[in-house]
Each structure stands twice: as structure tokens, then as C-alpha cells.
Amino acid sequence: MWEKIANVDRRVIYALMILVIALALLNPIGMAIVPSQATIDAYNYIEAMPNGSIVWLGMEFSSGGVTELIPAAQAIIRQGFKKDFKFVCAGMWQQAGDMAEMAFSIVEKEFPDKQYGVDWVNIGYKPGGEVLLPALINDVNEAAKGIDHRQNQLSSLPLMSQFKTIKDADLIIIFCTGTPGEQQYIKHVTGPLNIPLIESAISVSVPGIMPFVQSGQIKALIAGMKGAAEYEALVGVPGPAMAGMDAQSFSHGLILLFMILGNIGYYATRNKKG
């Protein structure tokens, strides 16, 4: 029996994982979300920005990061629209434009007075990787080749008359799953221009980002789906991240259970062999 516990077939683990995640998503028990200090710091920083600030949203991720990053983006946009923020979105990742549309698609309906081109603009993906960032410092219109994600002329959008270069941003918030990401923004934009930077990142990236948070180069970090769920709680509008925390909790619980069983099986069989 101990042999079996020490060597459970991986397909059993996969099947149980699917079952646990599906059950938690279909029947959420609504575990209490207590915001961490890091998320509170991000919320307070944005809340302290003057009404009407222009905020750059760097959508530096693709569909793989949707589950963890879109909820944070939606919660921030909600908070920002309440404070009459203007948002300009773009990204170095190919799906940046689609991700911005996805983030705004739901929130836009909650704020019918907010208009595309006046309150937010989606420049979308522009090629070049990190070289795009210095180009945005010189001239956003030129760097974006004059058109946004929806194929509008940027010069025809009222918001862009106030936003000529990325220097016009009062705050930069980026949503990242990897490279290019925060290091490129710190190197080219937020470091030299002294513009505050807030980041929402997927959980696996968090350990690598912590030194930048400690050094103050990133003012606050919304870490993974947990951070997004905490942000939703702070903004007061429950969303997909809060709904997903039960599934994440139970999947972690299952992995921990298997780790314990694996060790019990390992020690039992090891003593037997000895």
C-alpha cells in the first residue's frame, strides 16, 4: 500500500485536480478575502492620485495571463473611472490591444458616460519590443504610426491632444507576464523620467519582481490572482478573481495533500527497504 502512496500515477493527480477545480468553480464557498498590505498600498497610491490624472496602462501579456491580470485591470479601471482618470493603453506584446479591449469591455458598460477617444484610448500592440518605449518618449503618434487598435487616426481622438508623449502620463500601471515587462519600463521610462510605476503581475513572476518593489522602483505590486481578488474587494466590486480564489485554494490544498502523502509513502517504503 505504501508503495502505491509513494508512486501515485500522475493521471490520478490530473483527474483529481480537474475535479477539485471544477467543483470549486461550480460551487464556490466564498472564502474570506483579506487584502494584503501590498495590495492596500497599490489601492491607496492610485486613490491618492488627483482626479482627472492621465494613466498609462501597459498591457504586457497575452491570453495566458488573462485569468490573473484582467481582473486586476478591470478593478483598477473601475477605480480610475470613478476618479475621472483618462487611460491610454498600449503594449509591446502582440495581444496587447485585444487585452485592453477585454479589460474595458465589461467596465465600459458600467460607466456609460465614459467615451472611447475622450476617456480612454487603446493604441494596441506596436512592434519593436523595448525599443518602442524610447520612441514613446519622443512622440506617441510617430511611435504608434498614427493609428490605434481600432484603426482610428490618433490625431482624431480628443484625449491624444493631451497625450503627446509618455512623459504626459501621471502614473504608469503595467500588467505583465514576462519580458518585455517591468525591467524595460524601469530602464527606459519610469527611471529616467521619474514617473511612478505600479505593476500587476502573475504569481510566478512575483519573486523576480520583489527587489524592484523593495528598491522603490515599483511603487506597489498587485501579486497574482490573489492580489487581483484583494483589489476587487477593495474596489467593492466582486469579479472573476474573487470567484477563482476558491478554485486556487483547493488546488493548492490538493497539491499539499499529495506532498504529505508522498512523504509518508517515501518514509514508509524507505524504512521497509532499510
Binders in 106-135 for other proteins, by CB under 8 A: 127-129, 131, 134-135
Amino acid found at 253: G
CA angle (195, 148, 119) in 5-degree steps: 60
What 8-state DSSP symbol labels residue 113? T
Specify the residue, 123 or 171, whose C-beta has the smaller distance to other proteins. 123
Contact pick of 153, 156, 162, 203 for other proteins (by CB under 8 A): 203
Q: Please, what is the minimum distance in Å from the beta carbon of residue 97 to other proteins?
A: 9
Q: Please, what is the minimum distance in Å from the beta carbon of residue 21 to other proteins?
A: 8
Q: Is the dihedral of CA 27, 31, 37, 42 positive or negative?
A: positive
Contact pick of 78, 86, 219, 226 for other proteins (by CB under 8 A): 226
Residue 185: which of 201, 170, 168, 198 has the closest Cα? 198
CB 97 within 8 A of CB 65: no
First to last CA, the chain: 17
Residue 200: which of 218, 223, 184 has the closest Cα? 223
Report if residue 27 touches other proteins, rule: CB under 8 A: no
Instruction: Tell me the C-alpha to C-alpha distance, in Å, between residue 264 and each of 5, 95, 123, 240.
Output: 8, 45, 55, 36
Report if residue 239 touches other proteins, rule: CB under 8 A: no
CB 88 within 8 A of CB 169: yes
Q: Total number of residues binding other proteins (CB under 8 A)?
A: 58
Binders in 49-78 for other proteins, by CB under 8 A: 62-67
Contact pick of 259, 268, 272, 273 for other proteins (by CB under 8 A): 259
Report if residue 171 touches other proteins, rule: CB under 8 A: no
Report if residue 26 touches other proteins, rule: CB under 8 A: no
Which parts of this chain interact with other proteins (CB under 8 A)? 8, 10, 13-14, 17, 21, 31-34, 36-38, 62-67, 95, 98, 127-129, 131, 134-135, 138, 151, 192, 203, 206-208, 210-211, 214, 223-224, 226, 245-246, 248-256, 258-259, 261-263, 266-267
